[in-house]
Amino acid sequence: MNKKKVFIIFFLGFTILIFGIFALFNNKKEVYHISNINGIQIKGDTTRYPVKLLEKIDGDTIIVIFNNKELKVRYLLIDTPETVKPGTPVQKYGPEASNLNGEILKKAKKIELEFDIYEKQDKYHRALCYVYADGKSVQEQLLTAGLAEIKYIKEPDTRYLKIFKKAQGVAKSNKRNLWA
């Protein structure tokens, strides 16, 4: 082979290697699915939207005022025992989860919602959100108390899954409520 062919082969190989390394380290870019919720374009980044609590439904569902309109909110990544589902009896620890959720939110001076990157609503048209009371995750508090469990994990909407797993682990290791 002549030197020119060797150089071209080396150059192409080096270029492919560089692009491969770049792609490997740049693949964590989040692709946002933008939705319109009550007239606001929601990207799904870590923006927190202030809301006013209108009603606590149960341990993982609330109704809030968001952009001057009612919005039913289902907490992302967790599930609490049922208390109000038609045709379903009240489940063990359901009232406790519902009460704790209500207490946290009623005491809060500031309630905020945060959406994840892809799915913004479920099939029942409830907003899927992380909920914060005075800057603290309500989901994390319910998990730590052993009154919620991690459920309904749908990639890529898993921003706080590791934190929630740690909180649930605390409840399990301390045998709190659901984990007694």
Are the C-beta atoms of residues 88 and 108 closer than 8 Å to each other? Answer: no
| 159 among known catalytic residues | no
| 74 among known catalytic residues | yes
Residue with tokens 């030197």: 3
The DSSP result for 94-150, as a single string, is HHHHHHHHHHHHHH-S-EEEE--SS--B-TT--EEEEEEETTEEHHHHHHHTTS-EE
For residue 7, how many C-alpha atoms fall within 13 Å in the half-sphere facing its CB?
3
Catalytic residue among 30, 55, 119, 126: 126
| 149 among known catalytic residues | no
Query: What are φ and ψ of residue 37, in 5° steps?
Result: -120, 115
Catalytic residue among 48, 74, 96, 155: 74
Catalytic residue among 48, 55, 70, 82: 82
**Residue numbers annotated as active site:** 74, 82, 126
